[in-house]
Structure formats: structure tokens, C-alpha cells
Amino acid sequence: TIEEQLYRPNFHFTPKANWMNDPNGMFYLNGKYHLYFQYYPEDNVWGPMHWGHAISEDLIKWKEQPIALYPDSLGYIFSGSAVVDKNNTSGFGDDGKTPVVAIFTYHDIDGERAGAIDFQSQAIAYSLDEGQTWTKYEGNPVIPNPGIKDFRDPKVYWDEIRGHWLMVLATYEKSFFYSSPNLKDWELLSDFGETVGEHGGVWECPDIFPMNVEGTNETKWVLIQSLNPGHINGGSGTQYFVGDFDGKNFVLDPSFAKDLDQVETKWLDFGRDNYAGVTWSNIPKSDGRTLFIGWMSNWDYARDVPTTTWRSAMTIARELSLKKVNGSYMLFSEPVSELDAYKNLVREETNINFNKEFTIIANKTKAIDKTIIEIELSNLQKDRYRFSLENDEGEVVDFGIDNIKNYYFIDRTASGDLSFSEKFADKISIAPFDDLQDTIQLQILIDKTSIEVFYNQGQTVLTEIFFPSSPLKTLKLTPANNLKAVIKKLVVSELEL
Ligand code: FRU
């Protein structure tokens, strides 16, 4: 169908049919990356939640699997995580088989607790066949509701230092931390966040993990915290915090607290389409990466986007790293390096002076829809540099650098179908800079209906979706005021999948 040809992404995960939202339960085991997801198999809009499932050997190519978890009398299966219980702390391991344990939220909206506020609780299920089939624990829920309406999205991490499981979950305006020796008995440790961070909406889908600060011996803990609404550019989005975890409390690093005081929320992605993302568990030490994926949509319009047989894609899988930039901790994201294996070089240039429209790609027949642009610009002036990705209809996805207003941006206000939601393209999305940028490096991933712009090795990111009425075929770079600048380096690659 036209919809398949035009909208179904080439290198981003989508379910074959029907509704998907948050990524869930991601773990790695025996050469396979598992991705579960909030899934409603009977319609293209949100409904009674299941966990769908997909497997990849390289985080790029995914194979959808049978549904992993179905709702039952305790409720819908909301978001959560999964861990590989190598030491069989749970006792679920049978004949030496390693249990994988999923920790999720039951949302009992239709059942016994309908109408009450205590309808969300935390529960577990285990798998003895590497995540293929699951048995729900008969002692569920493992954390009953304490009288809090929004009480969900448990993410569990093996705290090696303390020798127990650490859980973070989201309540309305805070994250709660729990510990457990066995994934069944949980003790509340502390909470975080009531008085810091963004509170324009409900906190959801947290994650916590330690990271090495690149180039140092320092370890810091990163807390990822999604919220809906309240994102800087509108709707749902994900903020992060950097601090220390002493086994009981998450304490913001003083420098990070200072950054926040100066009203600088740190956003994991400044684009509108990266939500509820969390990290993979059980990545081998020998690999050592922190791997992340997010839902590439926004609650402002996710239910309305003009795909009908399926809805939503995931972002490209990303490697997170923690760096100190001018005294501030920054969480960097970059596409996983596994993507490189699929790249074919299309164009490579160095040191091109330009002061007017420069054509990066001009295709007559071919679409720009599995394309990666790596570009380094220097001698940038106080000008506005616009990349325009256009089709034969004159629809355009704009992105670029505004050195007059000090931000980079994505502008999808003329990108094709906008009719499905007033909130979809009411304004451009921006990621601010501290000051004028003389040199900038961008990595840009373009699929049929999405763009991901990684600024300076992923210090900040803009991820957005769009729905053109015909394929996008040309990409040009134009300085608004014709001031002279240099393309230090340009590499265009096409993915072969
Ligand atoms: C976030 C979220 C979660 C919840 C799930 C329900 O997008 O609202 O908080 O568990 O989606 O599908």
C-alpha cells in the first residue's frame, strides 16, 4: 500500500500491525538483544496493554516475536523492565536454567480496582527459555499500591556494590527507590525529585544506572525521568539527572544542582519524538556500553498520526555516555556503532567554501530515506543555516543552525500531512546553544518518516517524525544571509539493509 511505501520506516523498529508505545523489558542474552514494548494487538490506538516482543542480533534489524505478556485478572501489563537473574536469587531457575525476570506494572482499570485510585501495582513474571515464554508469579503483586494513583514503570538494576536489586519507579511527581534480595520482597529506600526538575506533567518510565565519566576514574549515577506533558518543545519528553547513589538515596551532584538552579533542565532529547526510553540490562562487562532506545512519538499526537495499520516506531538504538563539558555533566547519545556495517559511501567532500545554497543530495527518482549525513561546518557566522529536505510537492523538513538566536532546530511546519493534530507542528523545535557556534558537527539519520540530528557527538539530540505525501528527494544547505562558511567535511552514506 501507499502507506507502507511512504511511511513504514526502513531502519527503525515498527510492529507489523497495530498499536505500540514504550519500549519495555530490554535485556541482552547469548548474542540476542531483546526488546519488548507496550502493545495493543487488536487496534491501531492504545488499549488493554500487552508486551509485544522483538529480537535483534545487532540492535538494527529486528524480528518480531509472539506476544510475551497478556493482560489478566490483575490488570493490563504496563511498562517495566527485565533482568537476567544469573545467581537465581529469585529461585525461579529450574535445572540450572537461568531465569529472566520481568518486572512490570499491573493497571487494573477494568477489574476489581476500577474507579479506585490504587489500581496500579508492581508484579513479576519469569522466563526459563530466554524470554520467549513467561510465567507470572503466583505471589503477585510484589509491591501493592500504597494509595498513590500514578505508581508505575519499575526499572530494575543489579546493584553490585550493595549486592541486591535496585528498583526505581515513577509516582506522580517523584521517583521511588526500592531494594530487594530476590525480586519478590521489596523495601522502600527513598524518593527523589519532588522539588527539582520539570513538573509540567506526570513522571513516568524512570531508569537509574552508574556510568563512568569519560576520560576520568569517576563514577556518577544517572537518573532518566520521562514526563508527560512538560517537554521543552511540547508534550511528552525525557529529562535526566546526574548524581550519586549511596545505597539508599539518590543525591544530585552539586554542580548538576547548580546547573538546574540556573533553570537548565537537561533533556535527553530536545526533539518531540523520543519518549519513555530506558536502557538494556545485562550488557556484558566486556562490552561495557550503556544502550538505550526510546519510543519515537509523543502523547500529544501519537494516536492520530496518519498510519493506520500500525502506529509508532522506536528511535535508533543509541549508546549513552557521560562527559563533563565546561564543568557540566552531559549525557551524550549516539547511534550504536552496529549501524556502520550497513553504510555505503555515497559522497565525501572536504573543505568546501559556501555562501549560498549548496546541494548535498539531489535525486530525481531515489528517495532520501535510509540516509546518514555526517557534516562538520566551520567558520560559521552570525547567520541562519538551513538544511532543507524536500520532495516534488514542495513539502519540506527543515533543520539547521541558528547562530543569530543560538539554537539548532527542526522545522516540520511544512513537512506534509499536518492535518491530524493541531499540536503536531504548531511551532519549530529548538535545542539552545550557550553562544554562537564557530564549528559544529552533526550526524543526521533520515528514514522515511523520521529524522534524528545528533549535535557534536551527541551532546544534545533532536528526534522528530513527519509524514510527507511523496518521498523526500533533495537536501540543500542555505545560509540565510549569504555569509561565508566552510564545510570542513561531508560524508553521505546510504544504508543497505
Ligand atoms: C508512558 C506510559 C507509562 C505506562 C504506559 C502505558 O508512555 O504512560 O507510564 O506504563 O505508557 O501504556
Q: Is the CB of 38 under 6 A from ligand 1?
A: yes
Is there a single domain that holds both residue 175 and residue 87? yes
Eight-class DSSP state of 338: G
In this prediction, residue 425 carries a pLDDT of 98
CA separation for the pair 179, 189 (Å, rounded): 7
Q: Are residues 421 and 314 in the same domain?
A: no
Average pLDDT over residues 166-185: 98
User: What percent of the chain lies above the pLDDT cut of 90?
Assistant: 96
Whether 321 and 277 map to the same domain: the answer is yes
**445 CA → ligand 1 middle, Å:** 27
Q: What angle do CA 398, 23, 174 make, to 5 degrees?
A: 95
**310-345 per-position pLDDT tens digit:** 999 999 999 999 999 999 999 999 999 999 999 999
Per-residue pLDDT band for 382 (boundaries 50, 70, 90) equals: very high
CB distance 152 to ligand 1 below 6 Å: yes
Ligand 1 neighbourhood includes 300 CB (under 6 angstroms): no
**Do both 66 and 99 map to the same domain?**
yes
CATH of the domain at 16: 2.115.10.20
Residue 114 pLDDT class (50, 70, 90 cuts): confident
392 and 287 within one domain: no
Nearest CA to ligand 1 atom 6: 78
Single residue among 317, 335, 353 that ends a domain in this structure: 335
Residues 127 and 15 in one domain: yes
For residue 302, how far is its CA from the centre of ligand 1 (angstroms)?
12
> SS3 for 259?
helix
Query: What are the pLDDT digits (tens) for 124-148?
Result: 999 999 999 999 999 999 999 999 9
Confidence of residue 11 (pLDDT cuts 50, 70, 90): very high
pTM here is 0.98
Residues 25-65 have pLDDT tens digits of 999 999 999 999 999 999 999 999 999 999 999 999 999 99
d(CA 413, CA 466): 9
249 has a pLDDT exceeding 90: yes
Find where cell 509540567 sits.
200
Same domain, 293 and 366: no
Structure confidence at residue 109 as a pLDDT band (50, 70, 90): confident
Residue 101 confidence (pLDDT) above 90: yes
Q: Is 26 in the pocket of ligand 1 (CB under 6 A)?
A: no
Question: Could you tell me if 88 and 139 lie in one domain?
Answer: yes
How remote is the CA of residue 152 from the centroid of ligand 1, in Å? 8
49 touches ligand 1 (CB under 6 Å): yes
Q: How large is the average pLDDT for residues 289-294?
A: 99
Ligand 1 center–CA 184 separation, angstroms: 23
**320 and 374 in one domain?**
no
Closest to 149 measured CA to CA, from 183, 121, 178? 121
Domain boundary among 285, 310, 335: 335
Output the pLDDT for position 230.
98
Summarize pLDDT for 201-247 with one digit per residue, the tens.
Answer: 999 999 999 999 999 999 999 999 999 999 999 999 999 999 999 99
Q: How far is the centre of ligand 1, averaged over its atoms, from the C-alpha of 460 (Å)?
A: 24
**Which among 18, 19, 20, 22 is the best mutation to test ligand 1's pocket, defined by most ligand atoms within 8 Å of the CB?**
22
> In total, how many domains does the chain have?
2
pLDDT at 185: 98
Pair (129, 115) in one structural domain: yes
The average confidence (pLDDT) of the chain is 97
Please give the pLDDT value at position 65.
98
Q: What is the ipTM of this complex?
A: 0.99
Active site (annotated) includes residue 22: yes
- Looking at 85-200, which runs of residues are DSSP E strands? 100-107, 120-127, 135-136, 151-159, 164-171, 175-180, 187-192
Cα angle at 81 between 26 and 333, to 5 degrees?
55
Residue 369's domain is classified under what CATH number? 2.60.120.560
Specify whether 90 is located in the same domain as 125: yes
The residue from 279, 305, 335 where one domain ends is 335
Domain that holds residue 384: 339-495
pLDDT one-digit tens code per residue, 439-459: 999 999 999 999 999 999 999
Please give the average per-residue pLDDT across 274-293, as a whole number. 98
Atom of ligand 1 nearest to the CA of 226: 1
* Strand order from edge to edge, sheet including 151-159: 151-159, 164-171, 175-180, 187-192
Same-domain status, 85 and 172: yes
> What confidence tens digit (pLDDT) does each residue in 77-100 have?
999 999 999 999 999 997 889 999
Nearest-angstrom CA–CA distance, 315 and 12: 6
Catalytic residue among 22, 85, 300, 411: 22
Report CA-CA distances (Å) from 471 to 6, 439, 483. Answer: 7, 31, 31
- The CB of 79 under 6 Å from ligand 1? The reply is yes
Closest ligand 1 atom to 78 CA: 10
CA distance 224 to 151: 16
Minimum-distance ligand 1 atom for the alpha carbon of 150: 9
